[in-house]
Amino acid sequence: QVQLRESGPGLVKPSETLSLSCSVSDFSISRGYYWGWIRQPPGKGLEWIGGIYHTGDTRYNSSLKSRVTMSVETSRNQFSLKLTSVTAADTAVYYCVRWDYIVPSMREFFDCWGQGTLVTVS
């Protein structure tokens, strides 16, 4: 059964860069699927950040695109998120996910989720 686990600092200072990694177990990233990030501010709803394929193809939320970079390390079977110039509005639980995204049918869904990690900007 595929398992995802987020890791990274739980506290980031304003204007600095948020960096998170997601380790994938029991499934090779290179086998396919997109791999993504979703966040949830405390007490609020879900927001899609973006996703990356093992080849490096990326899809980003346009509202965050200027600040987001995703990368994948197939040798370590993990992928990463960087979000620059953070503010208090970026405080959220960040989930890494496996994204079943099939272009061009626009058929997609998130079938595996990490447990989430709270990142506080302060």
Of 27 and 113, the one with the shorter C-beta distance to another protein is: 113
Looking at the DSSP bridge assignments, the partners of residue 99 are 34, 110
- Report the distance separating Cα 45 and Cα 24, nearest Å: 25
Question: Does residue 106 bind another protein (CB under 8 A)?
Answer: yes
Q: Where are the beta strands (DSSP E) in the chain?
A: 3-7, 11-12, 18-25, 34-40, 47-53, 58-60, 68-73, 78-83, 92-102, 107-113, 117-121
Q: Which of 11, 17, 109, 118 touches another protein (CB under 8 A)?
A: 109
| Binding window for another protein (CB under 8 A); candidates: 8-16, 19-27, 45-53, 70-78 | 45-53
Site residues for another protein, 63-102, by CB under 8 A, read: 95, 100
Q: Which of 5, 77, 82, 110 touches another protein (CB under 8 A)?
A: 110
